[in-house]
Amino acid sequence: MGSWVRGLVLVACLFPVLVDCTVRNYKFDVVLKNKTRLCSSKPIVTVNGKFPGPTLYAREGDTVLVKVVNHVKYNVSIHWHGVRQLRTGWADGPAYITQCPIPTGQSYVYNFTITGQRGTLLWHAHILWLRSTVHGAIVILPKRGVPYPFPKPHKEVVVILAEWWKSDTEAVINEALKSGLAPNVSDAHTINGHTGPVSSCPSQGGFTLPVENGKTYLLRLINAALNEELFFKIAGHKLTVVEVDATYVKPFKTKTVIIAPGQTTNVLVSADKSSGKYLVAASPFMDAPIAVDNLTATATLHYSGTLANTPTTLTSLPPKNATPVANNFINSLRALNSKQYPALVPQSIDHNLFFTVGLGINPCPTCKAGNGSRAVASINNVTFVMPTTALLQAHFFNISGVFTTDFPANPPNVFNYSGTPPTNLQTTNGTKVFRLAYNSTVQLVLQDTGIIAPENHPIHLHGFNFFAVGRGLGNYNPKTDPQNFNLVDPVERNTIGVPSGGWVAIRFRADNPGVWFLHCHLEVHTTWGLKMAFLVDNGKGPNQSLLPPPSDLPKC
């Protein structure tokens, strides 16, 4: 552990009365482990041999130290998705953005304090496609003595949704990059690591959620899938949504949750049936002509006292293109905006940004399957090129030639974004960031383009939460659309779906110095270049400045 790390922890915890500080130590051994799913086995990269990985528990205000030891052949880095990382960008985790990855046989201690956050988040690998199996839950409990702003549940259960490939996922993406075409879709979806019985492997069991009649349960739902948004339902039971992305919302009831990769949703379930077994299901949402894994993952809600051979009550799932079901859920989300948990929406804006997000086609002479072309992705027509020195190191140590600060604030080519695409589908390549002064306010409109196909893009911003102040179909109109923005109680998130053929507007305050990644959380699009970074300068004095890097930061 670096000396400044020990110093910080020591200073914080010498005065526990003042700061109510607990230090939580975790050790993550990244190891290969054989797992059998869909009646076939393969070695997968895991943390501590588990799929999904271990849950990281902490309370608001705690300092967390995670020693990650790399025992596999791949370089590794871990991202603590949704953790603000105030002034601790070195612990954020995206490879070549805030750190160089941890080489085989080496380790790194991620050190961060959870400030002003409570709820469900997730951790996952942030390099290559390793997060397909290297992921787990982060459960942040409120400070001691602080209640939930909803009825206390009898029990809390983490429910992680993911995807499973029979093949090695690194081989899947490498083959796609070689061909220039889209990668093969997954072979199944999973609920807490299990697919449930499927036609090709009817013998395999699924996850069971035991419940008692009359009790209420808090389900902490996490979408850790690589490339697919998912619907989640429980037969015969309504779900009361109380939180998304570790921010409280005004509670509402729904039969179906829509959850994108990187998003979390906390729901209350009342076990109000006398007995029985009820199907729990996760199925894909895709309202564009793009291939998805159509297999539904299943689990069982099992009332105590119900015989094992009791038939399971089934439920009808939304069709995969059920946009109205998804919109109904998204439009119901509102920040709790209570006295204790106010929605601090920036009312005046320093930077008005407009980013197009979508696909493109670039020449690739070696891509035979793609007829000399490859699919790419971009923001404002810039396909991001990953550096070989981490951006945060280049920024902190003033290393020139790693990135430029000329990321465009608006699309370089104006066209009918949701209509007929332009004739030239090529993008430009670059390692560009957008510079923000400390504490400046940003409004960012993210506009989907119909190039190749309109598609829902779940966009994740590292280092910040943001408020989703507006969304719509078609092209964003800067004159009329802001009149309908919700600046009072918009939902606060860290990952948001840009609707197919539409746009979303978000606002945030740049109060966290460092370099912060913005990217699509569909891993295929991130690989293709749908990513950029914000560079937030230091403010005044040490409390508004990035801390120096720890001594064990991996070398490039």
Residues 79 and 193 in one domain: no
Q: What is the pLDDT averaged over residues 347-370?
A: 97
Inside any domain, residue 84: yes
Number of domains in the chain: 3
Q: How many CB atoms lie within 10 A of CB 9?
A: 17
Residues 256 and 305 in one domain: yes
Inside any domain, residue 13: no
Inside any domain, residue 374: yes
End-of-domain residue from the set 332, 365, 380: 332
pLDDT of residue 304: 97
| Cα(7)–Cα(205) distance, integer angstroms | 49
Inside any domain, residue 150: no
Question: What are 23-35's pLDDT values in tens digits?
Answer: 999 999 999 999 9
| Cα(66)–Cα(223) distance, integer angstroms | 22
Q: Give the domain CATH number at 55.
A: 2.60.40.420
Question: What are 97-114's pLDDT values in tens digits?
Answer: 999 999 999 999 999 999
Residues 372 and 249 in one domain: no
Please state, in angstroms and as integers, the Cα–Cα distance from residue 368 to each residue in 4, 79, 120, 375, following that order: 52, 35, 44, 13
Query: Among the listed ranges 340-344, 368-372, 389-393, which one has the minimum average pLDDT value?
Result: 368-372
End-of-domain residue from the set 332, 365, 400: 332
Question: What are 254-277's pLDDT values in tens digits?
Answer: 999 999 999 999 999 999 999 999
Residue 35 structural domain: 23-141
Query: Is pLDDT at 499 greater than 90 in this prediction?
Result: yes
pLDDT of residue 14: 41
Residues 229 and 370 in one domain: no
Smallest CA-to-CA distance from 395 within 540, 545, 551, 518 is with 545
pLDDT of residue 5: 44
| Cα(106)–Cα(77) distance, integer angstroms | 11
Q: Which residues pair with 256 in a beta bridge?
A: 233
Inside any domain, residue 556: no
pLDDT of residue 75: 98
| Cα(510)–Cα(42) distance, integer angstroms | 44
Inside any domain, residue 341: no
Residues 89 and 171 in one domain: no
Pairwise pLDDT comparison (228 vs 12), residue with the higher score: 228
Query: Is pLDDT at 430 greater than 70 in this prediction?
Result: yes
Inside any domain, residue 202: yes
Query: Is pLDDT at 12 greater than 50 in this prediction?
Result: no
Residues 307 and 196 in one domain: yes
Residues 184 and 235 in one domain: yes
Residues 180 and 61 in one domain: no
Query: Is pLDDT at 144 greater than 50 in this prediction?
Result: yes
pLDDT of residue 191: 98
Residues 355 and 500 in one domain: yes
Residues 297 and 425 in one domain: no
End-of-domain residue from the set 304, 332, 360: 332
Inside any domain, residue 47: yes
Residues 247 and 100 in one domain: no
Residues 165 and 294 in one domain: yes
The answer to whether residues 102 and 76 touch, using CB atoms and an 8 Å cutoff, is: yes
Q: At 20, is the pLDDT very low, low, confident or very high (cuts 50, 70, 90)?
A: low
Question: What are 332-355's pLDDT values in tens digits?
Answer: 999 999 999 999 999 999 999 999
Question: What are 455-485's pLDDT values in tens digits?
Answer: 999 999 999 999 999 999 999 999 999 999 9
Q: Is the pTM of this model over 0.75?
A: yes
